[in-house]
């Protein structure tokens, strides 16, 4: 119910030297800037109360005290008249905001802070406040007060207030709060069971090496160089060698072994599963289906989609099947390209149909015979981190009227000296509208994946009345042009693990890393531009099957040659990056995009199939394996191999359950928006303002279908407004575009 969120205080604008050159210096200069003398008693993020690991304990104490005061006020609202009931949604949002500002901060600290004492303190705070939040999620008094508010005709809630109220109400009911005592006990049992099974499912992946061992005969290894064989396990008396199918030797052989039988054996072993692994997954799906039935949903997919842009599993399937029909011919052409490359490389007139076990072999053969990699000029020297950040800022200023202004940090403000602070300056209102902390360099023990953390969301604060335990925030925030009120300003952190610059050379990026920066900054800018009454619908806190659209749109923008010349500048010569060079590199990186997209489609389809069944599910062990084979047989372009159980390695089935379609859905939306709105001129200020005013500033405070219809206009607007099957089929027919094939 009380979802995680984030927020910040406004800071006065300070003049800086030319922001473009200072951005390059901030990220390409190997020396770290020294913190300036603090202007006030400051701590992490300049929060005066967060100066040491020990600060977390009093912060947690104050947060719980303030939250308890808000809980009492909300619970008693129905007995205190209509005026107080009108504040129930606002106060629930404040309750969520107060908790999440600390929980999200703790989540960031425990993931990026290099000091173990800070990590331990953040862990403790995170666990303590999440436990308290879980208690509130089953607080009957809060639920009853909210339900009375929603159903009271005198309330007359606007769209954003109603969406926030319904979000809280749905989350309460997904927690089984409306059930009888006996049913609620069963709900708690099932919830614990699902969590336990999900963790076991994730932990099982790749652990049972016995079922994933493969024995290869001497004939299987014909054509393999003797030097490679000497690195493998010794042969037995018959010349057979037994390998771990997930080990590096087997995976190399899957790509290079001339023997189709060897590749088949390795593929089958790689995708084998123990009975325990299959049983764990199937019990998880059974538990989820029973939970859905208990809280009066037809299937778990209905539960997961209840607050999404696409809120019906049948509609998701219309989209996916439509997208399959669009993409399948192109994926088939990619398979034909593999066959043609193989024929040329092998010098034969024909080859047998490509099986699933042959795919890696033929893809490697195609890559090896492209003959262009060695002759291409390197692209990385054009992509120094400083030049990319400077170019990105220039693009955002032209498109949306916002730019990055690097600012020296105060003492204690950041957790590592390599972290750079960027104030986001809006040329429309001549003010800072938020802050991004760029923690972009690798260090131990920071995780190796890119992440976007929202430490503080935007939220209107000037109409907050005082609650004991809360700092008075009515004077916080900044006046935003054309809007009445004052708003918390957002703080986000972008974390990556790029190589640090050296004394002789700045950090040079590959193209995928540049795409990552553009993608994650799409999320950050959504948070920066969003200005809503409630933090629960601010910026990226919108429907989760709409949240990736702005970030994928940034990938489309980067793919435009006009943008590539802005972003890419040689770090030594200043020469602009040639779009032809980018195109040549991308042809190597993603030579079969439709085939990759089809793989994502198959995963989205099996995710829906698993979660769209009504309880009870099949009692026959292995039904999930049969279903996976059927989905591949019906929709795939490469024939699957029977009795392989790759689904036990599909970890996203736990975290994404019934929502794996979302990234493909947002790719379709972003592709359409880019084509219709931005492709004529990706730097058009008029088009950028349409996107900003029509979509980005609303976050989740406006119906996403309505925003999409207004943005596209014409027949598309009429079709979108009509809804139903035609709308979903149309989105599938838009296609998923040709950028970004992996889920981010």
Q: Which residues are catalytic?
A: 520
The CA distance from 641 to 389, in Å, is 46
Distances (CA, A) of 435 to 136, 404, 426, 432: 31, 9, 12, 8
The CA distance from 311 to 665, in Å, is 13
Burial class (CB in 10 A: 0-12, 13-18, 19+), 626: middle
The CA distance from 221 to 231, in Å, is 13
For 434, left (φ over 0), alpha (ψ -120 to 50), or beta? left
Distances (CA, A) of 744 to 378, 512, 552, 614, 734: 26, 12, 10, 30, 21
The CA distance from 453 to 494, in Å, is 6
Residue whose tokens read 């939040």 = 133
The CA distance from 529 to 489, in Å, is 10
Which residues touch 242 (CB under 8 Å, ≥6 apart)? 213, 214, 215, 216, 233, 236
Q: How far is CA 224 from its chain centroid?
A: 41
The CA distance from 719 to 174, in Å, is 32
Burial class (CB in 10 A: 0-12, 13-18, 19+), 148: middle
Report the DSSP beta bridge partners of residue 403.
Answer: 425
With beta carbons less than 8 A apart as the criterion, state whether 133 and 60 touch.
Answer: no
DSSP per residue over 700-727, as a string? Answer: TSS-HHHHHHHHH-HHHHHHHHH-HHHH
What is the four-CA torsion angle of 518, 521, 523, 526, rounded to 10 degrees?
-120
Report the DSSP beta bridge partners of residue 131.
Answer: none
Q: Is 573 helix (H, G, I), strand (E, B) or coil?
A: coil
Helix ranges restricted to H, 154-271: 159-174, 181-204, 226-231, 248-256, 260-270
Which residues touch 741 (CB under 8 Å, ≥6 apart)? 590, 593, 596, 597, 600
In this structure, the strands spanning 491-498 and 431-441 are parallel
Q: What are phi and psi of 424, to 5 degrees?
A: -95, 115
With beta carbons less than 8 A apart as the criterion, state whether 282 and 624 touch.
Answer: yes
DSSP 137: T
With beta carbons less than 8 A apart as the criterion, state whether 739 and 555 touch.
Answer: yes
With beta carbons less than 8 A apart as the criterion, state whether 661 and 205 touch.
Answer: no
Q: What are phi and psi of 652, to 5 degrees?
A: -65, -15
């Amino acid at each position: 119910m009380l979802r995680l969120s984030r927020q910040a205080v406004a800071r006065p604008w300070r003049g800086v030297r030319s922001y473009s050159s200072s951005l390059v210096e901030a990220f390409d200069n190997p020396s770290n800037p020294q913190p300036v003398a603090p202007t006030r008693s400051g701590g992490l993020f300049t929060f005066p109360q967060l100066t040491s690991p020990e600060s977390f304990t009093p912060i947690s104490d104050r947060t719980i005290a303030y939250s308890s005061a808000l809980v009492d006020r909300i619970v008693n609202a129905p007995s205190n008249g209509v005026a107080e009931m009108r504040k129930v949604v606002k106060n629930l949002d404040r309750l969520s905001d107060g908790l999440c500002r600390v929980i999200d901060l703790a989540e960031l600290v425990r993931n990026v802070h290099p000091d173990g004492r800070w990590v331990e303190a953040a862990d403790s705070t995170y666990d303590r406040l999440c436990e308290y939040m879980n208690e509130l999620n089953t607080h009957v008094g809060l639920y009853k007060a909210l339900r009375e508010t929603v159903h009271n005709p005198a309330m007359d809630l606007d769209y954003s207030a109603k969406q926030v109220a319904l979000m809280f109400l749905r989350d309460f009911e997904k927690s089984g709060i409306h059930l009888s005592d006996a049913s609620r006990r069963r709900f708690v049992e099932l919830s614990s069971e699902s969590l336990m099974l999900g963790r076991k499912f994730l932990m099982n992946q790749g652990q049972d090496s016995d079922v994933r061992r493969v024995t290869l005969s001497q004939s299987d290894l014909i054509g393999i160089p003797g030097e490679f064989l000497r690195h493998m396990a010794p042969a037995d008396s018959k010349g057979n060698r037994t390998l771990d199918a997930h080990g590096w030797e087997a995976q190399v052989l899957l790509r290079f072994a001339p023997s189709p039988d060897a590749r088949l054996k390795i593929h089958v072993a790689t995708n084998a599963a123990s009975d325990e692994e299959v049983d764990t997954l199937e019990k998880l799906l059974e538990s989820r289906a029973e939970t859905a039935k208990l809280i009066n949903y037809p299937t778990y997919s209905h539960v997961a989609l209840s607050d999404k842009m696409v809120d019906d599993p049948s509609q998701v399937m219309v989209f996916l099947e439509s997208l399959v029909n669009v993409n399948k011919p192109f994926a088939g052409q990619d398979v034909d390209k593999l066959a043609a490359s193989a024929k040329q490389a092998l010098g034969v007139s024909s080859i047998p149909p490509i099986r699933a076990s042959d795919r890696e072999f033929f893809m490697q053969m195609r890559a090896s015979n492209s003959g262009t990699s060695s002759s291409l000029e390197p692209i990385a020297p054009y992509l120094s981190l400083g030049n990319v950040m400077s170019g990105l800022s220039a693009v955002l200023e032209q498109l949306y009227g916002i730019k990055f202004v690097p600012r020296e940090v105060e003492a204690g403000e950041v957790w590592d000296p390599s972290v750079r602070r960027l104030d986001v300056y809006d040329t429309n209102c001549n003010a800072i509208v938020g802050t991004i902390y760029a923690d972009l360099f690798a260090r131990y023990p920071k995780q190796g994946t890119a992440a976007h953390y929202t430490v503080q969301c935007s939220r209107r604060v000037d109409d907050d009345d005082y609650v004991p335990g809360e700092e008075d925030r009515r004077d916080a925030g900044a006046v935003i042009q054309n809007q009445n009120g004052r708003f918390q300003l957002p703080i986000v952190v972008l974390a990556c693990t790029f190589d640090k610059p050296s004394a002789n050379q700045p950090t040079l990026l590959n193209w995928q890393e540049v795409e990552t920066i553009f993608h994650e900054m799409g999320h950050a800018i959504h948070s920066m531009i969003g200005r809503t009454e409630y933090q629960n619908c601010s910026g990226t806190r919108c429907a989760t099957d709409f949240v990736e659209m702005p970030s994928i749109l940034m990938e489309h923008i980067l793919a435009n040659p006009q943008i590539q010349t802005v972003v890419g500048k040689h770090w030594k010569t200043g020469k602009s990056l040639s779009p032809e060079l980018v195109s040549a590199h991308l042809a190597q990186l993603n030579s079969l995009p439709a085939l990759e997209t089809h793989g994502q489609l198959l995963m989205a389809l099996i995710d829906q199939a698993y979660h769209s069944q009504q309880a009870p599910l099949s009692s026959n062990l292995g039904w999930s394996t049969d279903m996976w084979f059927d989905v591949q047989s019906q929709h795939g372009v490469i024939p699957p191999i029977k009795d392989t159980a790759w689904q036990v390695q599909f970890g996203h089935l736990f975290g994404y359950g019934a929502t794996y379609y979302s990234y493909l859905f947002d790719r379709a939306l972003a592709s359409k928006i880019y084509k219709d709105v931005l492709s004529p001129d990706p730097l058009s200020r008029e088009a950028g303002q349409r996107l900003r005013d029509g979509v980005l500033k609303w976050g989740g405070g406006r119906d996403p279908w309505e925003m999409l219809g207004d943005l596209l206009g014409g027949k598309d607007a009429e079709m979108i407004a009509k809804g139903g099957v035609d709308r979903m089929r149309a989105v599938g027919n838009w296609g998923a575009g040709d950028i970004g094939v992996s889920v981010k």
